[in-house]
Every structure is written in structure tokens, then in C-alpha cells.
Structure 1
Amino acid sequence: MADQAALFHQIFLVTGPVFGLVLLGVFLKRIRLIDEAFVMTASNLTFRATMPTLLFLSILQSDLKTAFQPKLVFFFVAATFLHFGFVWLWSLRSVPKEDRGVYIQGAFRGNCGIMSLALAANQYGDYGLSVGGVLSGIIVIVFNILSAFILSIYSPTFDANFKSIMREIVRNPLIISVVAALVGSSIGLTLPEWVVRSGNYFAAMSLPTALICIGGTLSLAAFKSSGRVTLSSSLFKVFWMPLFFVPLAWLLGFEGRELGILFLFLATPTAAASYVMVRAAGSSASLAANIIALTTVISVVSFMAGLYLLNYLQLI
């Protein structure tokens, strides 16, 4: 009993600070200490400046062979494509046509760059930050391509073409920072100590600010109005996806820290960026907001349950 209590305490130390900051964002928004203008500005600062700095420094200061793990990247990308395909097939028989694009995106597009990265850093320190940073930078490309593709099929107004998708990918600050860090690490780039320290101070703002912004964007009204389509998409994202692919990863030989990071990235709730893309596509923004809210709430339990089970079975 004491061992189980210690294990639960260890898991709470990983998940508690992350979801605590999300709840803080909800509270600060409710008492009007932060507003939508703050969330937009802070989110923009995080996406374009502090998060790229965090990823760049964490990867640059780590061993390149450790940060970039081709097998881990390939499995996660392959799992995303397989999950995307299955959810699409499922939606053909169970989801109204006008909602399919939003439903599918919500079921596969995870909040890897913030939620998963924060949990990986809490669980595995610099190792989790560097490996997770590379994984986040690569999967963002996959997410953007698949999201634009599926929304263009089911949206009456959204027309995404290859050129526009590639333009957005090339301009993405997170992708630029990961590529720059990988190149810098491969050529042995070193920065002055004062630059590294200043960068670390600046980068330290990233995860707390981003998590508070997630809380500030959550809609309790949207959560209360969740329906069958919302619940189905949410369960695909935070329950069925990790439940299928984590055991598969273990059967294929992943274990320890690699298996733990895969779980944290597979089980992450739907990314807030999906809402922005849905609005741009002219599809159901309310459904997108419902999925984001519901997956975030469910993930509080699913993350802790998954980490507890994997630790109890001594797989991570």
C-alpha cells in the first residue's frame, strides 16, 4: 500500500504542476485577471519566440544522437497516419458529413508542443525536453498537412493547396528552431555563456505561459454542451489512440523512457491550434471548442491512469 501511495505521489509530481497551471489559467480568466487579449498576445509570444528558444537551446545543448531518435519519430508519425485513416473510415458511418473534418482533426491532432512537452520535461528532465522537442517539431509538419487535407475535403469554403501548406510549414517558428538546432548541433555550434543564460531565462517562460493560456481558452460552456460526436472524437484522441499504440510500441521493442515519451505524446489532448484552423476553414468552431475542452478534462485522469499502469507494470 505504501509503495502504491509513493507511486501515485511520483506520478502526481509529473502531472500535477502541468494541470495545476491549466486550472490557474481557468481561474485567472474567471476572475478577469487575464482576458482574451492577454491570451492572444501571450500565445503569440510563446509560439513565435519563447517556445522556439526553449526547443533550440534544449536540442543544441543535448547529444544529437540522444535528441534525434529515428525509430521513435517513425513510429509516432506512422501511428498518427494509421489513426487518422481509421478515424476517417469510422466517421463515414457515424458522423454527419458537415462535421467530419472537425471530428477527424480533433481525434488525431494532439497538443504535443505544449502539454506533452511539459509532461516529458517533468518526467525525464533535459532528456524529455530534447527528445520531445524534436518529436514536436516533426509532428507539427504532419499535423498541418493532414489537418489542411481533411478540412479542405469537408469544408465548403476552405481550399488548401500544397503550396500554401508548405509555406506555413516553412514559416513555422517551432519547425525552424528544431531544424536550426539539429544543424547547429551537427556542426558543433557553441554559444557564449551569457547568451545561453539569457536564452534560458527567456525560454523558462514558455511552458508556464502556454499552460496558463490553455486554461484561459477553455470554455466551460462548451464543455457542458458536449454531445455524442464530441465525446466520440475525444475518446479516440485521449483513450483509444494510446490504448492501441502504446502496447503495440512495447511489442515492437520500445521500453523505458522511449515508451514513456510515446505515451505522453499519444495521450495528449487535442491542440488548441485545431480551433484556429477550423474557424479559418469555415467549419463548426463550436464542435472544435467542445473537443478541446473535453479532451483536456479527460486527459487529467487518463494521463495519471496511464502513467500509473505503465509504472506499476515496470514498463517505463
Structure 2
Amino acid sequence: MLDAILFALTIVLPNLILMGLGFFMRKQGQVSKAFIDQASKLVFNYALPCLLFFSVVQSSVDFSAQLPLIVAGFVVTLILFFGAEGYAKLFIERAEDKGVFVQGVFRSNMAIIGLATVANAYGKEGLSVGAVYMGVITLVFNVLAVITLSRTSLESESSSASKASHYIMMLVKKIISNPLIISLLAAFAYKALDVSLSLPPLPQVVTYTGELLAALSLPLALICAGATIDIRSMLTLSGLSMQASIGRILIAPIVAVAVGLGFGLTGVHMGVLFLMVASPTAAASYVMAKAMGGNEVLAANILAFTTVFALFGMAIGAAILRGLGWM
């Protein structure tokens, strides 16, 4: 148990330090709102797409062997998404808050904390399985994030439109033009062609450049998120950030275990599902919320709070599941 907590701390502390750096720089006047806006666009349009593309392309796991795990992850994501949507419709008034809240509940940080924790638990096997899971579910994450953020940001416009087709066209346009979705579709297409045609490896200069740009994405996203943190709002128990954090830290892992048991998952697959879902809110959620006109302060607060506290849930949950022989 102690080892699990110490490992979780080694994964989370770099994120907290980067966010703290962003918070400190903003307080000292060393970064401006204009810089945060420009850096967020750089991450959203270039760095994050590279990270997702090369994560999928460099994975060597057979997709078909992971089908039960991927379907279970898809079901968990939909349950959390529609549950959060229902809650937002009933209890959240501001349009710019709704999509950010929903995204904070269903979207987890698989790329950093999830994959690293899975690798620690299961080694290379877990890392390969987790990479494929991350690639597929990240695509689902981004589609659902575009849907919820688009609907809330266009709420006033769509309500005055004479036809529902106007809204549908706007939604489709946002989905097909989203850089993260485009990069994932390109990665899966490349993998499919590589299996059937044995494509030559990508040129080294392309791979190296892409990896450098990918390495920029999450640190810069965390710095930007830290620069917009509102400590008072983050620690307000009645605030939306706390409500979304409860959904991510407590409800999401419980749903994952229940669905995993329903699908008969055990061992590595149950472990991957639990650790991926129990991870804190994804850093990319802040970038996407800001890029699509959502409440970036709320997104940053959810990211900060869950990054601090989700690791305890991961450690406790993993110890319980391992003790029961389920992972």
C-alpha cells in the first residue's frame, strides 16, 4: 500500500510542480493572459495531436485481443457522460459551465498518470494494453467533449435557430475539424495500412520532430492551467469544481469496477480499466475547454483538485482490488 502511494506521488508531483510554476508566474506577472491563450492554441492544434498520433502508431498490441476491455471502457465513458449531462441539465445554469463540468467528470488523464500507473503494476504488457485502450477511448473522449462543449457554447444560437439542422451542421463541422480527432483517425488508419501492407517505418526526422512536439504538450498545458487556477473556487465545497471532482474521484472508479465485473474482466484488463478511469481529470480537458469557449477557470480548478486528490483513490482502490484478487 505504501509503495502504491509513493509511486502515485512520483507520477503526480511533476504535474503539481508545473501547475504551481504556472500559478506562481501568473501571480508574479511573468505570464499574461495573451501568452496563455496563444500557448493553449499551440498545444491544442499541434502538440497534443502529435502526442496522440505517436502514442497509437508506436503501440505493438493487437487491437482485437483488447476488444472486451475497450468495449467496457466505452460503456463506462458513456455512463459517466450521460450521467454528468443529466446532472448539468438539472443543476447547472450557465452554458459555459455545463460542458466543462461534464468533461471534468468523464474525461481522465490516461496519457500520463493512467499509463504510468499501469506500467508500474503490469510492466510492458500493461503498458502496451494501456496504450491501445488510451488510443481508442481518447477518440471517444474527444468526440464527446466536442459534443458537450459545442452544445453548451452554441446554446443561445441553437435555441434561436429555426431548424435543428443548423445545429447539427455546426456540430459535425467542429468534430471533423478537431485536431485531436484528426490525429487519432490518422494514427488508426496508419496502423491498419501497416498491418495489411507492411509500410516502411516513418522517416526518423518525422518521428523525432513529432516526439519533440509531443513532449511539449502536457507540460505546457499544465503550466497554462496552473496560471488560471482560482484557489478559493477550487477549495469551495459547494462549487462546481468540487462537484465535478467528486464525480471523477469517487463515482467514476466505482462505475469502472462495476462495469468491469459485468464484462468478466480480471487481472491486467481489470487493472487497466480501473487505473485509467480512476486517474484525475485530463490536462487536455483544460486546453479543449479554453479553445472551444468554455469556462477555463472551472476547467483548471477541476484539473488541479483531482490531480491532488485522485491519487489517494487510485492507491486505495488498487489495494482493495488486488486484495480481492480482481486485478
Q: Report deviation, 1:118.
A: 1.6
Instruction: Say yes or no: does 1:178 pair with 2:180.
Output: no
Give secondary structure in 2 for the equivalent of 1:205.
Answer: helix
Instruction: Say yes or no: does 1:56 pair with 2:53.
Output: yes
Q: Report deviation, 1:163.
A: 1.2
Q: Label 1:269 to 1:62 Cα distance change in 2 as closer, same or farther (>3 A).
A: closer
TM-score (norm 1): 0.78
Alpha-carbon distance between aligned partners in 2 of 1:105 and 1:199, rounded to the nearest angstrom: 29
Aligned 8 A contact 1:57 1:181 in 2: yes
- Long gaps (5+) in structure 2: 120-126, 160-165
Letter of the 1:23 counterpart = G
Instruction: Say yes or no: does 1:44 pair with 2:56.
Output: no
Q: Label 1:309 to 1:278 Cα distance change in 2 as closer, same or farther (>3 A).
A: same
Match of 1:203 in 2: 214
Q: Label 1:17 to 1:169 Cα distance change in 2 as closer, same or farther (>3 A).
A: same
Alpha-carbon distance between aligned partners in 2 of 1:59 and 1:251, rounded to the nearest angstrom: 27
Letter of the 1:117 counterpart = A
Count, aligned residues: 301
Letter of the 2:281 counterpart = P
Alpha-carbon distance between aligned partners in 1 of 2:276 and 2:65, rounded to the nearest angstrom: 15
Matching residue within 240, 246, 258 for 1:235 = 246
Aligned 8 A contact 1:237 1:295 in 2: no
Deviations 1:152-207 (A, max 9, x none): 6xx44455711111111111111111111111111123212232223222221122
Q: Report deviation, 1:101.
A: 7.9
Give secondary structure in 2 for the equivalent of 1:195.
Answer: helix
Give secondary structure in 2 for the equivalent of 1:34.
Answer: coil
RMSD of aligned alpha carbons: 3.3
Letter of the 1:249 counterpart = G
Deviations 1:28-86 (A, max 9, x none): 22223322222222211111112211221221122252599443343333333333433
Match of 2:163 in 1: none
Match of 1:30 in 2: 27
Letter of the 1:235 counterpart = I
Aligned 8 A contact 2:281 2:303 in 1: yes
Counterpart mapping for 1:9-20 below 5 A: 9-20=6-17
Alpha-carbon distance between aligned partners in 2 of 1:67 and 1:118, rounded to the nearest angstrom: 24
Match of 1:282 in 2: none
Counterpart mapping for 1:1-316 below 5 A: 4-63=1-60, 65-66=62-63, 69-90=66-87, 95=91, 98-99=93-94, 102-103=97-98, 106-110=101-105, 112=107, 115-124=109-118, 127=128, 128-149=130-151, 155-159=155-159, 161-188=167-194, 189=199, 190-223=201-234, 227=238, 231-267=242-278, 268-269=280-281, 271-272=285-286, 273-274=288-289, 277=292, 279=294, 285=295, 289-290=297-298, 292-294=300-302, 296-311=304-319, 313-314=321-322, 315-316=326-327
Alpha-carbon distance between aligned partners in 1 of 2:107 and 2:54, rounded to the nearest angstrom: 18
Q: Label 1:148 to 1:194 Cα distance change in 2 as closer, same or farther (>3 A).
A: closer
- Long gaps (5+) in structure 1: 280-284
Q: Label 1:202 to 1:230 Cα distance change in 2 as closer, same or farther (>3 A).
A: closer
